[in-house]
Amino acid sequence: MSAVRHLPQPVLERESSGFPRIPAIAAVAGISLVGFTAGTLGGPVAAMIFGAVGLLWGLLALVVARRLTRSSRRAMFANVSLYTATFAITCLTGVGLQIMPIMDVSIAHAPQFFADLVRPPIGDAEALPYYLLNTPLEWLLIPAALLLNARIPKRRTLIMIAAMMFFALRVWSYLYFVPDILDWNQGTTGQPLSADQLDQAALWVDLSWIRLGADVAIALLLLGAAFIPVTSADLRESSKDA
C-alpha cells in the first residue's frame, strides 16, 4: 500500500467547501439501518433506540469527516481509515474462511458436532472475532473509510460499492443469521438439534457461503482502493456532488 504523500499547502487550500452527497447519505443511512436492525434483536423499542443512536452517530461522523477532509493532513486521514478498514475486514473474512468449511462438513456428516459448535463454550469462542471486529467495522471503520475518502474520486467508487455491500450484509445478518444462531444457542452441550433446526441450519450454512463470498468481494474492493495513491491531482479536483 502506498505511503502517505505530503501535499503542498496551496493544493490543500483550493479544495471546494462542498461534500459529496452520496457517500454522506450512504454512511448516515447505513449506520442508522445497521443500528435499527441490530436493535430488533431486543424488540421494537430497542430497534427504535438503536436506530436513533445510529442516525445521531452517523451525523456526528459526517460533521467530523467534513472537518478532517479540509485539514492539511487529510491525505493521512484518508489512508489510515482505509488501511484500517481493509485490515479489519480481511481478518474477519479470514475467520469465515476458517470456520465455514468446518460448518459445511459437520452439518452434513456430524450434526451433533455442528450443534456443539454453535453453542457455548465452543460457540462463544468461535464468535469472539466477530464480536471484536463487526461492531468497530459497522460503527467506525467502514463509515470512516467512506467519508474520509469521499473527496478522492479514484477511490470513492470502489469504497462506495464495498460500503453498500457491507451495510446490506450486516442488515441481512441481523435479520436472519444472528436470530437463528441465538435460537440454536439455547440448547446445552450434547443436546441434538431438532429435525426442523437441522433443515434450517443446512440452509443457513448454504447462505453463509454467499455471505462469505460477499465479504471476500468487499475485502478485495477495499484492497484495490488502498492501492490507489492519493495524489495532488486527486485533491485538486473540485468536490462535486457525487
With cut-offs at 50, 70 and 90, classify the pLDDT of residue 123: confident
Share of the chain above pLDDT 70, in %: 88
Average pLDDT over residues 30-50: 97
pLDDT of 240 reads 42
Closest CA to 145 of 87, 80, 69: 80
pLDDT of 185 reads 84
Asked if 68 and 148 touch (Cβ cutoff 8 Å), the reply is: yes
pLDDT of 32 reads 97
pLDDT, tens digit, 9 for 90 and up, residues 158-171? 999 999 999 999 99
Closest CA to 36 of 171, 136, 140, 164: 171
pLDDT of 235 reads 58
Share of the chain above pLDDT 90, in %: 71
Q: Point out the least confidently predicted range of 31-40, 92-101, 116-125, 231-240.
A: 231-240
Residue 233 has pLDDT above 50, yes or no: yes
* Triad 242, 79, 213: Cα angle to 5°: 75
